[in-house]
């Protein structure tokens, strides 16, 4: 395997915020490590989204109204702050569920927050990209008017392959061409899935509850 990518997610961002980990974030090992500062700096300089040919790699998903170029550009706006010498602006602004949809004229903290929420927290949205961040069940339990982000027919990235995680309730099962769901419930004691990008081959290893490897 010549390349291994790590995508920043909302838990990583929380740890980079230099706050105490909550129990559900399971970040104690990072925050109590003797090389904590180096680990957090390493995490902070990873991307929110990677494009490799016709493949897009992202933690949560890409809203239907964005094409690949827009997604990469908007991810870059957040990365520019995250990778800067003063990332505190992002950490102060990223928490919250509002705004719940994208508008080109968004600026400042609201713009950074909705981009971050799309790429690291999204599960359900409507066809215009309005987010519902409260429901975490499987796709069969979508709230009225909403659907999994990848299910909308107007999705601007439908001709590309998207590799994503985040949604443990999917258990890695998305029966739609061009989608690879990597979250197979490791945090619940399920399996950790690895994927080889050039041919889509999966490898799995068992996990203990809490996402710990045996």
Record the pTM. 0.86
CA distances from 184 to 69, 75, 141, 193, 210 (A): 29, 25, 18, 6, 13
d(CA 121, CA 61): 8
* pLDDT at residue 46, rounded to an integer: 87
Q: Domains of the chain by range and CATH?
A: 10-135+150-157 (3.60.21.10)
pLDDT tens-place values along the chain, 214 residues long: 345 555 555 544 554 455 444 444 556 676 777 887 787 788 888 899 999 999 999 999 999 999 999 999 999 999 999 999 988 888 888 889 999 999 999 999 999 999 999 999 999 999 999 999 999 999 999 999 999 999 999 999 999 999 999 999 999 999 899 999 999 998 889 999 999 999 999 999 998 876 677 6
Q: Phi then psi for 213, rounded to 5 degrees?
A: -80, 145
């Amino acid at each position: 395997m010549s390349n291994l990518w790590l995508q920043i997610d909302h838990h990583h961002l929380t740890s980079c915020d230099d706050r105490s980990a909550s129990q559900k974030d399971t970040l104690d090992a990072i925050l109590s490590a003797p090389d904590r500062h180096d680990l957090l700096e390493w995490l902070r300089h990873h991307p929110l989204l990677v494009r490799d040919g016709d493949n897009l790699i992202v933690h949560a998903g890409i809203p239907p109204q964005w094409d690949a170029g827009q997604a990469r550009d908007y991810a870059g706006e957040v990365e520019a702050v995250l990778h800067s010498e003063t990332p505190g602006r992002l950490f102060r602004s990223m928490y919250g569920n509002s705004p719940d949809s994208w508008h080109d004229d968004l600026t400042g903290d609201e713009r950074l927050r909705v981009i971050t929420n799309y790429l690291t927290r999204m599960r359900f949205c409507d066809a215009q990209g309005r987010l519902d961040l409260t429901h975490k069940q499987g796709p069969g339990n979508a709230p009225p008017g909403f659907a999994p982000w990848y299910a909308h027919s107007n999705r601007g990235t439908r001709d590309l392959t998207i590799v994503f995680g985040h949604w443990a309730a999917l258990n890695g099962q998305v029966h739609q061409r061009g989608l690879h769901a990597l979250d197979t419930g490791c945090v619940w004691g399920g399996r950790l899935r690895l994927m080889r990008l050039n041919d889509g081959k999966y490898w799995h290893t068992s996990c203990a509850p809490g996402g710990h490897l045996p």
